[in-house]
Amino acid sequence: MPTTSRARVVNPRLGTYFGIFVSLLVGLTLLLLIFEELGTSDALLRWGMLLGPLVLYMAIALCAPTQDSLEFFAAGRRVPAGYTGLGIGVAALGATGIVALTGVFFLIGFDGLFLSIGGIAGFVIMAVMIAPFFRKFGTFTVPSYLGRRFENKMVRLLAAAFMAVPALLMIAAELRMGAMAAGWLSGQPQSLMIILLAFVFVITGAIGGMRSLSWSGSAAAIAAVLALLVPVAIVAVMVSNFPLPQLTNGPLLRALSYPEIAQGLPTVETTPFAFAVPGEGMTHLAKRYAIPFGAVGSGAFVVAMLTVMAGIASSPWLLPRVTMTPGVYETRKSLGWATVYFGVIAMTAAAVAVYMRDYLMDLVRQAPTTLPEWMQELTRLGFADAGTSMPPVYTGFAFMRDSVLLSLPVVAELPSIALFAVAAGIVAAALVGIGAAASALGNVVAEDAVNGLSWEPLPRAARVHLGRLTIAGVAGLGVVVALAAPTDPLRLLLWSLALSASTFFPVLVLSIWWKRANAFGAMAGMACGFGVAFLMIVAGTSGVIGLDGALAAMLGLPAGALAVVAASLATPAPSRSELELVREIRIPGGEGIYDREMRLLRLKNRERA
């Protein structure tokens, strides 16, 4: 007998709706392109490219309000796998990952692969070991799952407290990266743009919760992917007559090897745990693209890759997204789609880096006496510095890491609208990342912090209103953190992943695959993993130890796993009801455990009335 109600049937018109959105977005871009050719002021074009998509996202959200708790916290469990995977794939690293990954590839070459490999591996681990079972359980938050799995309210409250730190770091990173692009577009201070992005998130998230956020977030993710892919595809046609940059940059990369040697780029040797990832300032091209372990040592590469993998696989703001699919089968499909989208984004970022290096090499080969117009424009925008030597030297070029993605349309001499569209895509990706992390933290505050000492939820109306208030409160707190901690967004992202991996990965995996794990082990594992990782971040950042803070999971992850095992073995075995719960989690079919418990609770309350 089917357990999915008719109310949860996927809307068959979603493709039509998002087709209309894409048409409006493309129409807006073409209209602004026509205005550019007619001589419209640059400021008006910039504001149109910034505000036009934001208005569309908010309009979509305003068309999807809800007062139902299941719709508010899980979008009614009827988001198709493709849209769920799109949101997860873009939100995994957000605008920070997309922008910084492109710059890291360009500046240090293959050493940046730790982000790409770790991200794809994280989706695989999530799909195989965690997500299907989390979906079968069906709770709206990771702390709710852990508290119910171990039948302990303190586990729930402790998980909620520990989740707040990495989630706020992720929110701050996305706000800062999105504000960078929005501020460049509008010419306004980044602090004002941070507030604007938070306001847009509150509008898209507070009206309908995950229902409105899912659809507006899907639209923003589509806009981000299009803004990333289309300009690079145009450049690929110009360079190779083939519109697939992910496949056509290989010959260019091979052709770069010998000129880089001739230009004096060295084969850099570094210590195994060096982690010299470029920061926000100007960075010179100091190593060959295809030579690994020059900026990131071999040991640090492995640790950073495993950190990204475990951080994404156990991310407490990505896992709740899988509960919005109609069932376990769709959850697995959604993570397959997430892997595809993430892989395309990572390959495109690498293609942008190769094309940029190829353009610079062509410039050096020509040995001009004056810089070309596109290089002068990059210097004027503050994206790059060509040095003082004439003719220019390859090693004399310096670039802002986060400007590389924006630089390609300028270098290829595309219309200004192409550059503005890329900046608007960065803002869209930032909104997706902010929405994932801030909504998850808001739901945790509403469901686990406020109501953490009771298994019975608040009445539906009060539950939804509380969710709206906490979402707005988390947005405001994220603004405060972003303004008070002006740290490199990539560092904030890596710290967030390290803390998530150390705190939640051992507990989540063992809660599913080791029946002997109990509440004492869960609390010890989370506390030990978080504490060790946090201390390593502080010590690494302050220079007390010789390891970068981004490698904190090197000790935090095994410390958390050992603490779970040791504390569980040293304390009484789990109850029989806990063991039955684990057995049921591993059965993919049937009604979700949380949905069944809520249904029985409603029947019980109805009988009392």
Reported as a single tens digit per residue, the pLDDT across 483-534 is: 987 789 999 999 999 999 999 999 999 999 999 999 999 999 999 999 999 9
- The rounded mean pLDDT for the chain is 91
DSSP-based three-state secondary structure for 3: coil
**Residue 348 DSSP label:** H
Phi/psi at 315 (nearest 5 deg)? Answer: -60, 120
Comparing CA positions, the residue from 490, 486, 487 lying closest to residue 550 is 490
Residue 269, C-beta contacts closer than 8 angstroms, at least 6 positions apart = 294
Superfamily of domain covering 53-484 = Sodium/glucose cotransporter (1.20.1730.10)
Q: Which H or E element spans position 471?
A: helix 460-484
For the segment 558-583, the average pLDDT, to the nearest whole number, is 94
- Residue 327 has which token pair? 């069932």
DSSP-based three-state secondary structure for 385: strand
**589 has a pLDDT exceeding 80:** no
Residue for token pair 């995950």: 210
> Residues 92-131: pLDDT tens digits?
989 999 999 999 999 999 999 999 999 999 999 999 999 9
> Residues 7-64: pLDDT tens digits?
457 777 888 899 999 999 999 999 999 999 999 999 999 999 999 999 999 999 999 9
Residue 374, C-beta contacts closer than 8 angstroms, at least 6 positions apart = 410, 411, 412, 413
DSSP-based three-state secondary structure for 88: helix
Split at pLDDT 50, 70, 90, the class of 390 is confident
152-157 contacts, C-beta under 8 A, 24 or more apart: 152/519, 152/522, 152/523, 153/452, 153/453, 153/455, 154/519, 154/523, 155/519, 155/522, 155/523, 156/448, 156/452, 157/448, 157/449, 157/452, 157/453
Instruction: Give, in order, the Cα–Cα distances in Å from 544 to each of 109, 126, 186, 490.
Output: 29, 34, 41, 21
Residue 188, C-beta contacts closer than 8 angstroms, at least 6 positions apart = 182
Comparing CA positions, the residue from 93, 70, 49, 80 lying closest to residue 433 is 93
Split at pLDDT 50, 70, 90, the class of 227 is very high
- The span from the CA of 191 to the CA of 179, in Å, is 7
> Residues 420-461: pLDDT tens digits?
999 999 999 999 999 999 999 999 999 998 877 776 777 878
- The span from the CA of 170 to the CA of 96, in Å, is 9
Residue 307: predicted pLDDT: 96
CA dihedral 201, 207, 212, 213 (to 10 degrees): 30
For the segment 309-324, the average pLDDT, to the nearest whole number, is 95
Question: What is the radius of gyration, based on Cα positions, of the chain?
Answer: 24
Residue for token pair 């909620």: 160
Looking at the chain, how many residues does it have? 609
HEC profile of 280-335: CCEEECCCCCCCCCCCECHHHHHHHHHHHHHHHHCCCCCHHHHCCCCCHHHHHHHH
Residue 2: predicted pLDDT: 38
**91 has a pLDDT exceeding 90:** yes
Residue for token pair 């989540």: 508
User: What share of the chain has pLDDT > 70, as a percent?
Assistant: 98
> Residues 151-177: pLDDT tens digits?
999 999 999 999 999 999 999 999 999
CA angle 595, 601, 606 (to 5 degrees): 130
**Residue 446 DSSP label:** I
Residue 247, C-beta contacts closer than 8 angstroms, at least 6 positions apart = none
Comparing CA positions, the residue from 102, 136, 97, 143 lying closest to residue 120 is 97
Model confidence, pTM: 0.94
**3 has a pLDDT exceeding 70:** no
For the segment 53-78, the average pLDDT, to the nearest whole number, is 92
Q: Where are the domains of the chain?
A: 53-484
Question: Please, are residues 403 and 422 in contact by the beta-carbon 8 Å criterion?
Answer: no
Residue 260: predicted pLDDT: 85
> Residues 172-203: pLDDT tens digits?
999 999 999 999 999 999 999 999 999 999 99
The H-assigned helical ranges of 514-552 are: 519-542
Residue 401: predicted pLDDT: 93
Residue 6: predicted pLDDT: 39
Residue 609: predicted pLDDT: 59
Looking only at the bridges linking them, the beta strands covering 384-385 and 398-400 are antiparallel
